[in-house]
Amino acid sequence: MPLALTSITDVGVIAVLRAPSPDAAVSAVDALVAGGVTGVEITFSTPDAEAAIAEVARRHGDAVLLGAGTITRPEQAESAAAAGARFLVCPGTEDGLARAMKATGATVMLGALTPSEVMAAVALGADVVKVFPASLGGPAYLRSLRGPFPDVPLMPTGGVNADNIGQWFGAGALAVGAGSELCSSAAMKAGNWEVVEDSARSFSAALAATRAAA
C-alpha cells in the first residue's frame, strides 16, 4: 500500500480547497490544521495552485497530507508533484492523464461514479477511486458499489458534512472528501478563518465519534 494511501486512511477527511488566491489557500490550510483537519487537496481551480502547494509544504511539512486536485492536464500532475503534492486527484478517468499521474510516483485518485467507470479507474492503476459527485446517490449508493467492489478503496466527495460523515464510513468509505461543506468559498473570500477552523473542529469531532463507535 502506498505511503500516502495509508496516510489517507489515517487522516480520514480530505479538505478540497477551491480558493480564490494562493494566499487564501495557505491561510485556509492553517485554519483547517488548527481545527484538526490535516488532509488537504488544493485544486487547480485555485489560481497559481503550485505556489500554494509549495508554501503549504514548506510551512507544514509532513504534518499535512498534501495533494493536488482537479488535475485535467498531464503537465499539472508533474508540476503539482514537483511542488510537494503527495497525492493527485482527477475528477474523471482518462488513459493518458492517468499515465502521467502514475509517472510522478504520487498516490493517484481517479474520479468515477458508475460501476463501469470504477472498473476503468482500477484498470488504469488508480490507488483510490474518488466517487464523485457522491451527493447524487448518497451513502446508500456507496454501499451498493461496495458489493461488486469490496476491495477497491473508495473516497466519496460531494455531499459529505459533519452530520452524515458516520453514514459514509458505515457504507464503506476509505476516507471522505469535503469541499464547501468544510471550507466555504464565502469564508475564504472574506478571510473568515475562524469559521473555517470551527468547521474543521466539527468534522474532526464527527470523525472521532465515528471511529469510537466502530
- The ranges assigned to domains in the chain are 3-213
Mean pLDDT value of segment 61-83: 97
As a whole number, the mean pLDDT across the chain is 96
**Residue 75 is a catalytic residue:** no
Mean pLDDT value of segment 89-97: 96
Separation of alpha carbons 65 and 148, rounded Å: 30
Contact in structure between 60 and 27 (CB atoms under 8 Å): no
- The share of the chain scoring above pLDDT 90, in percent, equals 97
Sole residue written with cell 466555504:
184
Q: Is the pLDDT of residue 1 over 60?
A: no
Catalytic entry in 41, 50, 55, 181: 41
How sure is the predictor about 18, in pLDDT bands with cuts at 50, 70 and 90? Answer: very high
How sure is the predictor about 3, in pLDDT bands with cuts at 50, 70 and 90? Answer: low
**Residue 55 is a catalytic residue:** no
Mean pLDDT value of segment 120-131: 97
- Residue 100's alpha-carbon distances to 61, 78, 96, 164, in angstroms, are 25, 7, 6, 35
Mean pLDDT value of segment 82-102: 97
| The predicted structure's pLDDT at residue 214 | 82
CA angle (203 as vertex; 86, 3 as ends), nearest 5: 25
Q: Would you tell me how many other CB atoms lie within 10 Å of the CB of residue 150?
A: 8
Catalytic entry in 50, 55, 102, 130: 130
Mean pLDDT value of segment 94-112: 97
Q: Model pTM? A: 0.96
Fold of 3-213: TIM Barrel (3.20.20)
Separation of alpha carbons 188 and 145, rounded Å: 34
